[in-house]
Structure 1
Amino acid sequence: MKLYSMPSSGNSYKVRLLLALLGRDCVIVDVEESSAELLAAKAAGALPFGKAPVLHLDDGRMLPESNAILVWLGEGTRYLPGDPVARARMLSWMFWEQNQHEGVIAVRAALHSYPSRAHLATPERMAELLERGHALLAVMEEHLAGHDWLAGDAVSLADIALYAYTHTAGEAGGFEMARFPAVNAWLARVAALPGYVGLSG
């Protein structure tokens, strides 16, 4: 398999993390934002939706979208619950990660990190994202205050999906993570999983 991955992206990192946790071999092709490699991958048709991550299977088929890749990789593993309700709850968190969490937590971090987006980081925009991000983290805090994992009684793909941008929310996004002790304890549980690798691992 070959993974086209943006090294600084949480969406790409969540796939690399699951590959590491599963001990799966995969060739990693780095396509960082604004790089010649990214332009070449787009020109070659390697990124169907124009962005990373994309997993190229051994038979030539391509899987775009980070959470779809997680579901494919997770099939038949401990990370994909067998119980239909637990699986639906897992998917609920994964949908929420993409349509709520990622668009705030990741966006604020990106406005901090990428020079090409600095002009968008107005004080008003950054303040709005900070407020919204704290509200989203509070949703996770409320749930994790009474549960070790996001979906069911065991780690699942939901935890991998939400870990990616949450674990750098303080450093990269400027969110006040000390306000969320249950989230921090959950982050530590994910980081303690056998095979874990960090963002730059």
Structure 2
Amino acid sequence: MHKLYGDHQSGNCYKVELSGSLLNIPLAWVDVNILNNETAAPGFRAKNPNGKIPLLELDDGRCLWESNAIINFLAAGSSFLPTDAFTLAKVQQLQFFEQYSHEPYIAVARFIAKYLGLPDDRKADYDAKQQGGHKALKVMETQLAQTPFLVGDQATTADISLYAYTHVAHEGGFDLAEYPAIQAWLTRLEALPGYRAMGA
């Protein structure tokens, strides 16, 4: 069985948990406390020199890091990862969007509020994330007003990537009430066979 090193509150780790559940791939959970700096431990750094979670350790000892790389690996050969070159590129396009235009705003605002308790010395940083987060949500809303999932009629790893932090965006101060297409998309994903809630 593969081992997943992570934190149950982390959206990036949840992507992998959710993928395993949707794909019926069992993963052995290894809890890592990032606030206690456990990712800096030599044993962990030997597996991931970048010192971040999630980390997937395969049953043969090989390791993968970066959440979107991990979920694409798990989804290979399934309907969640297209084989058509253009459609696959669309999935990857959205995963790059998630990492560069979505997560730096929505996930970071959530981290400041949920993990750190919105301390006074981070309030300006938290406020600064709001505009960029709403810009990313508007991009998603535009697409999801046209198609049921982000790359068309079929759920892919692009949906998993963006679901993880979008469904808890309110924890970073983002009100999803103004995004009806996103709300409908969240409901569709939560109805998929094998869906697993964060922290479940």
Tell me: CA distance 1:109–1:51, structure 2 relative to 1, closer, same or farther (3 Å): same
- How many equivalent pairs are there? 199
Contact kept? 1:42, 1:50, Cα under 8 Å: no
Tell me: CA distance 1:120–1:19, structure 2 relative to 1, closer, same or farther (3 Å): farther
Deviates more, 1:26-35 or 1:52-61: 26-35
Query: 2:137 — aligned with what?
Result: 137
Query: 2:178 — aligned with what?
Result: 179
Contact kept? 1:48, 1:64, Cα under 8 Å: no
Deviations 1:44-95 (A, max 9, x none): 6233310110100111110010000011101000100122111110110001
Q: Give the AA of the match of 1:108.
A: A
Deviations 1:83-123 (A, max 9, x none): 2111110110001100110000000000101238735522x
| Runs of 4 or more consecutive aligned structure 1 residues displaced over 6 Å after TM superposition | none
Between the aligned partners of 2:33 and 2:86, the Cα distance in structure 1 is: 37
SS in 1 for 2:48: coil
User: Please, what is the CA RMSD of the aligned residues?
Assistant: 1.8
Contact kept? 2:6, 2:55, Cα under 8 Å: yes
Deviations 1:117-163 (A, max 9, x none): 735522x3322211221111011001100110111321000000000
**CA apart distance, 1:186:** 0.4
SS in 1 for 2:56: strand
Between the aligned partners of 2:42 and 2:147, the Cα distance in structure 1 is: 41
Query: 1:21 — aligned with what?
Result: 22
Query: 1:5 — aligned with what?
Result: 6
Deviations 1:9-51 (A, max 9, x none): 1000000000011111111101022237545475562333101
Contact kept? 1:111, 1:120, Cα under 8 Å: no
SS in 1 for 2:34: coil
User: Gaps (5+ residues) in structure 1?
Assistant: none
Query: 1:159 — aligned with what?
Result: 159
Could you state the TM-score of these two structures normalised by the residue count of structure 2?
0.93
Give runs of aligned pairs for residues 99-138 of structure 1, distance below 5 A: 99-115=100-116, 118=119, 120-122=121-123, 124-138=124-138
Identity %: 42
User: Gaps (5+ residues) in structure 2?
Assistant: none
Could you state the TM-score of these two structures normalised by the residue count of structure 1?
0.92
SS in 2 for 1:28: strand
